[in-house]
Chains A and B, each alone.
Chain A
Amino acid sequence: MTPILLDTGDMILAGGLIVGCVALSLVLSLGIHRTLIVAAIRMAVQLVLTGSVLLFVFGRSSVWLTLLVLAFMFSAATFEVGSRQVTRLTRAWHFGIGGFSTATGTVIVVLVGLLTALQPHPWYQARTAIPMTGLLLGNVMNATSLSMNTLLSMVARERAAIEARLILGATRAEAMNSLIRQSIRTALIPTLNQMAAAGVITLPGIMTGQILAGMNPLDASKYQIVLMSLIVSGNMIGATMSAVLTSARLSDARGRLRLDHLAR
């Protein structure tokens, strides 16, 4: 069983689909055509570059090279996690909290995965460590970003409600806990949907990939189960950390709501 390889014609087809979406955006006045084009070009360039870099890195099996690639991935995630949010903290805190939460959630589950379930030899082997980190990083980044975004926009909107609790003697935790919980729940909804739909409505990405690459479907499903569990754990850690840290930054030791810590 060899994987089915794609040729140039297939790539042109993919490009055609994007052009179709851009046309739709123009016809329907969605206003996302520019973003869509930029995103598509970025995606293509990034993926081709990644493929080439990985080809190179896998061939070397150097710890330092692997770490360098990982460091680059984490920096990019730190930047992305804080982008596309309307309500933002001041710059350093925004990216600091987003990046720190994403990295913590990812590192914990990657280590759990590499040291227990997958156990490549050596455990930092690039061929396993880099794709694993990439997969988890992307997921944790989404959850962290959603959680932060939800909390920031809710706090900005619900100022009067939060202060109403503070005024009556609530601590900042009491005043903001319901918003923190709501943010974490919102951040986890896509993952929960994905888990509920896995195998029934959709064939999850890793399993699909493994099957296309020729793995036995049952083995592929076991792989997916372990990875899905790692993903949901990482997402939970990232989302919780970013919500808690963001809410802490939006209040102070005197339990005040500090919306002046938002970027204007």
Chain B
Amino acid sequence: MIEGVSAPQAGDVLSRGLSVRALHNAHAGPFAFDVPAGACLVITGVSGAGKSVLLRMMADLDPHQGDVALDGRFCSGMPAHRWRRQVVYLPAESGWWSDSVLDHMPDDALTRELMAKAGLRAGVLNDPVHRLSTGERQRLALVRGLRQAPRALLMDEPCSALDGGTTLMVEAMMREAMAGGTAIVLVSHDAAQATRMADLRRELAQGHFVGADS
């Protein structure tokens, strides 16, 4: 565990990292928790517990009450697109706005480097999106997100379609991002992955965290 992860006081937020305050909508929350820069919060819970809802609210993709701060600056205090550029949500099913991978990311050194780390063959850049496997799309979406050098990553089952070895490669990428100060919120069904990655853990059930400290 990392310092500064005790139950947050209302009003004060982390100067480095994510601070969620009274975040809720009609179905889930309120949530209040901190994820310091460089730490990983793993959220577990059965399907329909509200994990994706929580991540979507944190990315300001769904209407909600309450607020989230990144490095002491609140989401509501900046244009939404600037917030999302720094707090990148990776949904379980990645979306693609054209059938060409190169419309989503340029073929440059950074892309190549991230692809190599994710165990992707260079050829996928020139393949049509619909021909890629689910696992390839999943990792390309991660590459696409990491290219932005986000300050926070909200990941919904990022390794659900990956084999054990590739999962470890993706986790290494996540650790590298954390070493650079990125805060990660990871939704995972994989208990072993949760154990490997978690600095903090929470369990969600019926729209609320289970346990005393939330």
Given A167-B88, A167-B89, A168-B84, CB of A161 within 8 Å of CB of B63: no
Across-interface contacts of A165 in B (CB, < 8 A): 97
Cβ contact within 8 Å between A256 and B96? no
* Minimal Cβ-Cβ distance residue in B for A175: B97
**Complexed CA–CA distance, A170 and B88 (Å):** 12
Interface positions, chain A 223-264, Cβ under 8 Å from B, are 252, 254-258
B77 adjacent to chain A (CB < 8 Å): no
Q: How far, in Å, is B197 (CB) from chain A's closest CB?
A: 21
Of A163, A166, A168, A258, most buried by chain B (CB within 10 Å of CB) is A168
Interface residues of B in 57-115 (CB under 8 A from A): 59-63, 79-82, 84-85, 88-91, 93-97, 104
Asked whether A163 lies within 8 Å of B148 as measured between CB atoms, the reply is no
Q: Is A25 an interface residue (CB 8 A)?
A: no
Which of A158, A167, A171 has most B Cβ within 10 Å?
A167
**In the assembled complex, which residues on chain A have CB atoms less than 8 Å from the CB atom of B60?**
254-256
Question: Is the Cβ of B61 less than 8 Å from the Cβ of A256?
Answer: yes
Q: With both chains docked as a complex, state the minimum distance between the C-beta of B138 and any C-beta of chain A, in angstroms.
A: 13
- Asked, given contacts A168-B144, A168-B148, whether A163 binds B81 with beta carbons under 8 Å apart, the answer is no
In chain B, what residue has the closest Cβ to A159?
B95
In the complex, whether B145 has a CB less than 8 A from a CB of chain A is yes
| CB-based nearest B residue for A253 | B80
Q: Across the interface, do B96 and A169 meet the contact criterion of CB distance under 8 Å?
A: no
Contact count band on B: 20 to 34
Known: A160-B95, A162-B95, A164-B94. A169 touches B148 (CB 8 A): yes
Task: Please measure, in the bound complex, the distance between the C-alpha atom of A91 and the C-alpha atom of B108, giving whole angstroms.
Answer: 48
Docked-complex contact A164 and B85, CB < 8 angstroms: no
B80–A163 touching, CB < 8 Å = no
Q: Which residues of B contact A158 (CB under 8 A)?
A: 97
Please name the residue on chain B nearest to A164 by beta carbon: B95
**Chain B residues positioned under 8 Å from A164 (CB to CB):** 94-97, 104, 141
Complex Cα spacing A258 to B62, Å: 8
Contact across chains for B96 and A161 when beta carbons are under 8 A apart: yes
Cα A246 to Cα B22 in complex, Å, equals 32
How long is the Cα–Cα vector from A204 to B59 in the complex, in angstroms? 53
The complex places the Cα of A105 from the Cα of B141 at a distance, in Å, of 42
**Residue among B81, B90, B94, B97 making CB contact with A169, cutoff 8 Å:** B81
When the two chains form their complex, are residues B85 and A168 in contact, meaning their CB atoms are under 8 A apart?
yes
Asked whether, in the complex, the Cβ of A256 is within 8 Å of the Cβ of B63, the reply is yes
For B91, list chain A residues within 8 Å (CB). 160, 163, 167
In contact, B62 and A256 (Cβ under 8 angstroms): yes
Contact A171 B81 (CB under 8 A): yes
Interface residues of A in 157-191 (CB under 8 A from B): 158-171, 174, 178
Give Cα distance in the complex from A159 to B91, angstroms: 12
Roughly how many angstroms separate A61 CA and B177 CA in the complex, as a whole number? 77
- A/B interface sample: 8 pairs, CB < 8 A: A160-B91, A162-B95, A162-B97, A164-B141, A167-B95, A169-B148, A174-B81, A255-B81
Give B residues with C-beta under 8 Å from A: 59-63, 79-82, 84-85, 88-91, 93-97, 104, 141, 144-145, 148
For the A-B complex with A255-B79, A256-B80, A258-B63 known, give 15 more contacts whose Cβ atoms are closer than 8 Å. A158-B97, A160-B91, A160-B94, A162-B95, A164-B97, A164-B104, A167-B95, A168-B145, A169-B82, A169-B85, A174-B81, A252-B63, A254-B60, A254-B63, A255-B60
